[in-house]
Amino acid sequence: MENEATLRRLKTVEGHLRGVIRMVEEDAYCIDIIRQIQAVEAALNKVSSRILEDHLNSCVITAIQGNDKKERERVLKEITEVFEMSTKV
């Protein structure tokens, strides 16, 4: 099941983040901490991309193929908002 794979990835990221916290607590070298933070960010971005891909291939396709114009507009607006938020970060 795809949800299980997503949870597994997130738990891996969680463990990695705990490692970063430990590095900060132990006063590790700043650049090493930054590199580890970047690795966590990349892992989260990958999880986010997979969730978005699943959403596009299920909910969005269903809405676009449906007869409810308001529902089509709603899901397309959601996708636009997700991309707008990703550029603000």
Q: Calculate the dihedral angle through the C-alpha atoms of 70, 89, 49, 79, rounding to the nearest 10 degrees.
A: 10
CA distance 30 to 36: 10
The answer to whether the beta carbons of residues 17 and 40 sit under 8 Å apart is yes
The separation between CA 25 and the C-alpha centre of its own chain, rounded to angstroms, equals: 26
Domain membership of residue 76 as a residue range: 2-88
Distance separating alpha carbons of residues 16 and 18, to the nearest angstrom:
5
Q: Tens-of-pLDDT digits for all 89 residues of the chain?
A: 589 999 999 999 999 999 999 999 999 999 999 999 999 999 999 999 999 999 999 999 999 899 999 999 999 999 999 889 888 76
Structure tokens at 2: 């795809």
Number of separate domains in the chain: 1
CATH number at residue 38: 1.20.58.1000
